[in-house]
A and B are shown apart, each in its own frame.
Chain A
Amino acid sequence: MSKETKKNRNPYIADILLIPPDQYSHQTAERVALLRREKVERPTIFVGAGTCGMIAGASQTMLSIQMYLNDHLMKADVVEVGCIGLCQFEPIVDVQLPGKNRISFKNITPEKVYSLLDAVFNNTIDSVDVLGQFESRHLVPWEDVPFINRLPFFKKQKRLVLENCGLINPSSIEEYLARGGYKAYAKAIQNYTSTEICEIIEQSGLRGRGGGGYATGKKWMIARQTQSDQKYLICNADESDPGAFMDRALIEGDPHKLIEGIAIAAYAVGASQAFIYIRSEYKKAIQTLKNAIDSAKEFGLIGSNILDSSVNFYLNIKMGSGAFVCGEETALINNMEGRRGTPEPKPPYPATQGLFSHPTVINNVETLANVPLIIQNGPTWFAGLGTPTSHGTKVFAVTGKVEYNGLVEIEMGRSFREIIYDICGGIKDFKDFKAMQIGGPSGACLGEACLDLHIDYESLKQEGAMMGSGGLVVMDESACMVDIARFFMNFLQHESCGKCIPCREGTRRMWEILESITKKPVEGQEHQSLERFKGVLMLEELATVVAETSLCGLGKTAPNPVISTLRYFRDEYEEHIFERKCRANVCNGLRTFYIHTEKCTGCTICYRKCPTSAIIGTQRNPHFIVQDKCIGCGICYDVCKFDAVSVH
């Protein structure tokens, strides 16, 4: 392709990317202002259409909006944006009228659309659905509407990686360019050698956001210095931890940030070919990425001879096949090569001998999304953020029993208390905090004592947890920690690849011991408590050996749910074993149900619903539970309308 045709195809590259903002021509400045939504020519409606928005019904909302516009013969732009982070309030609809601030509304179901848009266009907004308005220098603010960045949820966050998420149109590369996108890439390939980029990243102290926290710059340097005719860069987007969705939200909301990060990393490593390994369940994210890659190709940012610099960069998407273990580097490589996704012993590390035996750098999505920021703002800026050992910010996907579920990005060094109580509004329904599960299934359950822990890699490691990818599940007093450990152990025993013995057999035995603790004790067996107690002692030994000897990260961290719950909630284990009691009334086997005769009206609903026919009684007479037959499923408790069933 000749230079001329290339220029014809992407006029913005020369105008926006390669000229500093203060030297923009009037025409470009106008265009950039429009793209940055500093002004709009006609009403613009933004709909949160990430996966979380879609699940909440954003597509119906969008249809409704279209119908409203058609009915009123109005001309307005409807833009699909990613998730802004408050997944709880999806579908979120923003409206920006010409000359006025963009204003955001929560929980806009299709039936609310007509009244909402009527109100907005008539300037009589109802405060119930309002989330807030965006601050802007150029536009007129709405009266009596709070500014969104001053809401508690956003106030304490430091949104760097997520800065564009939910604000820009993910399918428009021009909007990203207008917001300073790809400037870091241009800067990198025009001003720095690849070694310099590695050094900058090393100076910044960026560490892998996917789990272990290995220094990213160091990893790149190793791969850069390894002699090979071909090198690869892989972006690991195989996000499989239950309750973690940072990568998905980032890709859906701001795909070009990731692509830019990958491009810079590939340049630094000396890889002309990069891959994004993404789990196939992320349909929307994959589609967004595909569109983004296509438009980046069209703009000459992916391909050969990028920005006339003789740098080549190709990017492809590889879909995973749905195995948790394939998030592990060597298993991922095996899978990409078309083999069974099982881990291989390290060394050799992928940085020296990876995909098809070539040096390969594998980085997490969030790690790579940090790269453009570092190149743009310099390593000292980044190193200034966070704690002495962990720099920058970290995105957490906060789920569970908190008031606001969603994506939270905070500076390293903040405490969990700030995330849970200040940002996410505390525990739901005025209950008490009990535990938080951090770092996915092989992460740890931390107790109340850790609430004031300053979050960084080292402090978490000290507590037996790990940063992991950033899932944070908050639990209140209704959770049973033995049951939680059992749940994660079950997950891990299913997701273990089965290659090495400790992980394959150890996870199963640990799960079985936990099962036996949470089961109904068999009558007539002597010394049962002692046996069960011995089980716990064995659990500790198994956990140690599995952690010490397993082949890959999955196995090495598999005992974490057990170790950490034993560490912080040992009393609950003891209660389960000796008193045969589950204080949260979660473990079926340890629950006993009774029917209060004075409250029971004899409606027979429990009698009819009981799966084991353990309830006897006749109409209009109090019922009775035969304990020998009862399996503790709790259906009678759930169906009783008169609170006559109680649990002990």
Chain B
Amino acid sequence: MNQGFISIIKRSSMLFSIEVNNKVITAQRGETILECLKRNGVFVPTLCHIEGYSPTGACRICVVEVEGRPDLVPSCSHPVEEWMKIKTHSPRVIRARRAIAEMLLSNHPDDCLYCGRNGNCELQNLAIDLNLREKRFSGSKNTLKNDYASVSIMREPSKCILCGRCVRLCETEQVVAAVDFIGRGNQMTIGTSYNHGLSSRNCHHCGQCILICPTGALSEQQHIAKVQEALHNPEKHLVAQFSPALSVGLNENLGIKAGKTADHIIVAALSKIGFSKVFDTGLATDLNILENASLLAKQIREGESMPMFTSCCPSWLHYAETFHPSILPCISPVLSPQQIMSVLIKKIYASEMRLRAEDIYTVGLMPCTAKKYEILRQEMLIDDLNMTDAVLTTRELARFIKLYGIDVNNIEPMLPHSPFHIRSTAAKLYGVSGGVTEAILRTVYFLLTGVELEPYKIGEVRSGSGPKFFTMEAGKYKVKTAVVSGMSQVQKLLKEIEAGKKNLNFIEVMACPGGCINGGGQKIGASDKDIKTRSKVLYEMDEKENIRVAHKNPIVHELYQKYFDAPLSNKAVEFLHRRRLEKKMEGNEQIL
């Protein structure tokens, strides 16, 4: 049979009707029962299911009754068939679902009140939905040790329900497989290589597993207590900096209307709590843009054949160092915005304010778990001093604000503090995948041609989730760029580059799919729509404000004049670039 004929047959019989709960609905050939029910507005609970992944059929919560079948059928993995008469909530199904949930709970520590996911837990919701009010099954429970080995992510295996979502995500989306199943039967657990804890080099701290975990088995390493301690220490001068993706994601966590940036609330709330200064990381981002753009412009003028990778994502850096050390020379040497801001605070701000650097306590407010790892990297130890002392994720910040009883609904907004109070909107775009490219290209265009890019908006790098490719023509030069987010995309692109299939000048890499707006520190259980709203806020800000490119930020000029001479000058390299990795290797120091 030829292909055309087959496709005609397929198309003609794509749609058919099945009976669900005594109602006839339309089903598409090839889709699973769950997809069909969802499309038709019938809700079936799930635990192990991840949209877009091949089903594993592990949790069995989604079972439905199909007439003529002796057993119950898992709707997530079973395809719809014409003859099917499905009951989604028959007494038999409900009894089975309840029993499965009860079995699960019988091996779950009953410590919801002490759990970080209390109130936002899929297992809790399931128990509520299934109206479980009595503990019928009791027996031995697996007691497992918590895994504190990682600097960014904490695992509590006793809370794990072994749905395997993190395993699948880490293997397919993030391609590192830092966790996998160990053992069998009721002794099965999810563990790391050699059971050495999550400090293994495989894990690049992206924290996507935290977002996908249905229970509290995975969470970030908390820095709240550390910050509190500093706050109560009168000798400490607390300075905070917040990133763009955090401000657009915070509202969801605080329970106020999303779709707005929380910059001013953050400044006001933290000032009230007792922070001396709250800066917008945006200024540091502008410096980062200028350094990167100058470097890229230089490379393009010189006709450098190797591409330049971005360096602002610590997960990506860690991944490259572990799995692709050969491309390390191609990664931009510029520090990440958080690191630059911390250097500005502990070096420049300290001297201007006549403070000792060790008395300043810098807190990064980031949407990211990898930033907790980044602050411990070697290049962040300058003169034996940690440039950033603590990192709070979006979730932690919301908890922190609530802890100090701040009423965010009735708080008077405040602008970020001087001296680092002005930032361009290009810096804000760093929060979304494609934004780094857009921000840097605006400045690169100016550096290469001497005139401003018109219009500033580069639509090609904004839409879509897949790898994005865009070539900008700047006078006689062509700047070929690629935007990838999510490690599976990165891995694919790297393979293509190594095979010589792609010839690029600039590659923006972010470890989390969609960029920092979907970072591992953001709200758990956010929908695709929520994440779109976050990016929309950033793009709207870019439309409305005046300073839209980094090279027009007056404070940036001032800083260069006063301290760093010019982009890529010796002083700029000293303060704003990573210390060279070769140096690190020579000293035989251990890389975190």
Contact = CB atoms under 8 A, between A and B. Distances in A.
A494 B57 contact: no
B184 A323 contact: yes
Interface in A475-505: 493-502, 504-505
A545 B94 CA distance: 11
A504 B162 contact: yes
Interface string B161-174: 11010000000000
A342 B183 CA distance: 11
Interface in B461-514: none
Contacts of B100: 501-502, 545, 549
Max count, chain B CB within 10 A of own CB: residue among A344, A347, A504, A541: A504
Interface in B139-181: 139-140, 161-162, 164, 180-181
A549 B57 contact: no
Contact of B187 (A498, A499, A500, A541): A498
B184 A497 contact: yes
B401 to A, nearest CB: 38
Interface string B56-81: 11111101000000011010011100
Given A509-B137, A545-B99, A498 B74 contact: no
Given A344-B56, A344-B57, A504 B71 contact: no
A407 interface: no
B310 to A, nearest CB: 35
B136 interface: yes
Interface in B169-208: 180-181, 183-188
Contact of B186 (A344, A493, A541): A493
Nearest to A342: B181
Contacts of B121: none
B185 A495 contact: yes
B324 interface: no
B96 interface: yes
Contacts of A274: none
Interface stretch (B16-24, B103-111, B368-376, B422-430): B103-111
A494 B187 CA distance: 8
Given A505-B106, A509-B103, A549-B72, A500 B58 contact: yes
A509 B137 CA distance: 7
A36 interface: no
The majority secondary structure among interface residues of chain B is: loop
Contact of B95 (A501, A505, A545, A550): A545
A550 B60 contact: yes
A345 B137 contact: no
B575 to A, nearest CB: 49
Given A344-B57, A556-B71, A498 B96 contact: no
B103 A505 contact: yes
A545 B99 CA distance: 7
B55 interface: yes
A507 B139 CA distance: 12
Max count, chain A CB within 10 A of own CB: residue among B59, B100, B136, B137: B137
Given A347-B78, A495-B185, A505 B71 contact: no
A506 B58 CA distance: 14
B30 to A, nearest CB: 11
Max count, chain B CB within 10 A of own CB: residue among A541, A547, A548, A551: A548
A321 to B, nearest CB: 11
A596 interface: no
Interface string B18-59: 000000000000000000000000000000000000011111
B58 A496 contact: no
Nearest to A495: B185
Contacts of A508: 107, 139-140, 185-186
A542 interface: yes
B184 A549 contact: no
Contacts of A493: 185-186
A345 B104 contact: no
Nearest to A323: B184
A538 interface: yes
Contacts of B187: 498
Interface string B199-231: 000000000000000000000000000000000
Given A345-B78, A542-B99, A551 B58 contact: yes
A545 B102 CA distance: 11
Contacts of A500: 57-60
A538 B185 contact: no
Given A496-B184, A498-B181, A505-B106, A548 B74 contact: no
Contacts of B106: 505, 509
Interface string A42-67: 00000000000000000000000000
B584 to A, nearest CB: 37
* Interface size grouping (class) on chain B: 35 or more
A551 B60 contact: yes
B58 A501 contact: yes
A549 B186 contact: no
Contacts of B74: 345, 549, 551
Contacts of B96: 545, 548-549
Contacts of A495: 184-185
A347 B92 CA distance: 23
A499 B63 CA distance: 16
Contacts of B57: 344-345, 500, 551
A345 B56 contact: yes
Contacts of A501: 58-61, 100, 103-104, 161-162
Contact of B162 (A498, A551, A556): A498
A549 B63 contact: yes
Contacts of A609: none
A506 B103 contact: yes
A471 B184 CA distance: 25
A542 B136 CA distance: 11
A385 B104 CA distance: 48
A499 B58 contact: yes
B589 to A, nearest CB: 37
Nearest to B164: A499
A239 B480 CA distance: 60
Interface in A502-523: 502, 504-509, 512
B77 A505 contact: no
A340 interface: yes
Contacts of B99: 502, 541-542, 545
Interface string A535-556: 0001001100101111100001
Max count, chain A CB within 10 A of own CB: residue among B55, B61, B77, B139: B139
Nearest to B186: A508
Interface string B116-152: 0000000000000000000011011000000000000
A345 B77 contact: yes
Contacts of A542: 99, 103, 137
Interface in A328-345: 340, 342, 344-345
A547 B71 contact: yes
Contacts of A506: 103
A125 to B, nearest CB: 54
A505 B104 contact: yes
A560 to B, nearest CB: 14
Contacts of A551: 57-58, 60, 74
A238 to B, nearest CB: 15
B185 A497 contact: yes
A538 B185 CA distance: 21
Interface string B438-463: 00000000000000000000000000
A504 B188 contact: yes
Nearest to A551: B57
Nearest to B55: A345
Interface string A217-230: 00000000000000
5 contacts: A498-B188, A501-B59, A501-B60, A505-B104, A509-B137
- Which 4 A-B pairs rank lowest in CB-CB distance, beginning with the nearest? A498-B188, A345-B57, A345-B77, A505-B103
Given A501-B58, A547-B71, 13 more contacts: A344-B56, A344-B57, A345-B77, A498-B184, A498-B185, A500-B58, A501-B100, A502-B103, A505-B103, A506-B103, A507-B185, A548-B63, A549-B74
